[in-house]
Amino acid sequence: MKRLILLVVVLLIFLGVWSAIYTYAPLFTKGFNIPQNKPKEVVKVVSEESVTIADVKKVGPSVVTVEEEALPQNQQSFNFGPFQIFGVPQPQQQSQPSAIGSGFIVSSDGLIVTSKHVVADVGATYHVIISNNKSYKVVNIYRDPLNDIAILKINPGDNPGQTLAPVILGDSSHLQVGQFVVAIGTALGQFNNTVTTGVISGLGRSVTAGDQFQGYVENLNNVIQTDAAINPGNSGGPLVDSAGQVIGINTAIAQNGQNIGFALPVDIVKNSINNFNQTGQFNRPYLGVSYTMLSKNVALLNNVVQGAYVQTVVSGSPAEKSGIQQGDIIVKFDGQQVDTKNDLATLIARKKPGDSVSLTIYRDGKTQDLTLVLATAPNQ
């Protein structure tokens, strides 16, 4: 028994000595320097507020106000495309600038993107005002015939020493519902660089924008829905993601809703810019129909097929020459299914003027195949 107790005591002493050597041996080799605690790693907390501030600092200097010169009338109308407000009559009978929309700089040599409906008056004179209130005359306007997009050209030399800061165009092909966004623009035509925040509320929306009583109505397909407040005057301004990259161009609001706005995806804008840079104009393929996309549910309810329902056919267009009629449903374009995720405008935009394409249409319960050659879209 004594031997067992002695053995246990010796074992405990051995373990204690071994533990002491393991713990304090480094002190002997390092001159008994007492080890210091490692500094804690600094973690940067990214909040919605910090993202918004960073976006505004990055993109704000690139956002412009678009002004139109117009003669005052007894009741002057400020045209915001699909929006309209009325100002106080002015007594001066001379040309007066009025802010009508927004835009953003895309190149340091003076190219600015805005909405086509912002500069819809082909006979008007336009100016842009950059963030430091410097004014530039618009020397050329290039209107995209297929999308609500226009490119304005200004001369950077109008203000010597002034540098134009272009935005960074992002990627709209991988957007997610719920993603944080910032909208910047000249709200109500008065408050430049107004900032609002929100999220992407929906993707792939199809809306009819404009006012038929003002003579401007356009079908917009595959647009971004956002709850970031977009007001009259924001049209043409950028929709920005949390990385400070433009992912859309603000273009419309729901008149009977609150915080329901729409923006064209930036990939459409980039395609327009690339097309313009290559040719100096918008040489876009042209079919010659106006249409409404029929979703799967709508097609089932009406006992028809899913596709692009043809509302009108333009006289003399490739569509008319091929035999397409009002009421037809285009179900395939060059072998690809036409649906809400792959709408007709997107499929046409992938082609070039002069391309021969095949179409499958649905008419009176039967399908038939057609072949046509796409033309160059007429300038607008």
b/e map of 352-378 (b: 16 or more CB within 10 Å)? eeeeebebbbbeeeeeeeeebebbebe
In the chain, which residue ranges form alpha helices assigned H by DSSP?
2-29, 48-59, 266-279, 296-301, 318-322, 344-349
Phi, psi of 277 (to 5 degrees): -65, -30
- Please compute Rg for the chain using Cα positions: 31
CA distances for 291 relative to 262, 272, 307, 326, angstroms: 19, 21, 10, 9
Residue 246 contacts residue 166 (beta carbons within 8 Å): no
Amino acid in position 131: S
148 a catalytic residue: yes
117 a catalytic residue: yes
**Of 25, 208, 231, 237, nearest in space to 113 by CA:** 237
Of 55, 117, 172, 328, the active-site residue reads: 117
Torsion, Cα of 174, 176, 180, 185 (10° steps): 60
Q: What is the DSSP string of 37-86?
A: PPPPPP-PPP-HHHHHHHHHHHHGGGEEEEEEEE---SS-EEEETTEEEE
Q: Which two tokens stand for residue 306?
A: 């899913």
Residue 324 contacts residue 331 (beta carbons within 8 Å): no
343 a catalytic residue: no
Of 144, 148, 241, 267, the active-site residue reads: 148
Q: Which two tokens stand for residue 220?
A: 């917009």
Amino acid in position 111: L
Residues shown for the chain: 380
Of 235, 267, 317, 343, the active-site residue reads: 235
> Which residues are the active-site residues?
117, 148, 235
